[in-house]
Amino acid sequence: MIREEAIRITLLYLTEKDNDGTVILDYQRMLASLTEYATCWYVDFHYKRARRQPPHLSGEAPGFIIDKKSQRIRVISWQELYELNFDLLPF
């Protein structure tokens, strides 16, 4: 899976999540970074406020991964992100 495909899948997923009612009104998820690993892409996102409000603080997972073969999305824990960082692709 190339980077552009991972971005397309990410944007569809974030839009779907924003529309399912699980985010506080006036917030929208935005792609922050995309990192390639051997078997997946890791997606980090942040919340963008539509209006001036106090920041939204949550204890959510750091992000999610997209499996390169199946294109399945899976939310990961902080521990999984830590472990994933030992599997970076070489430059």
Residues 31-77: tens digit of each pLDDT: 888 999 989 999 988 777 766 555 555 556 778 999 999 999 999 98
pTM for the full predicted model: 0.75
Q: And the tokens for 64?
A: 């999610």
Indicate the number of domains in the chain.
Answer: 1
Cα 14 from Cα 28, distance rounded (Å) = 8
The residue range of the domain holding 24 is 3-87
Cα(49)–Cα(32) distance, rounded to whole angstroms? Answer: 14
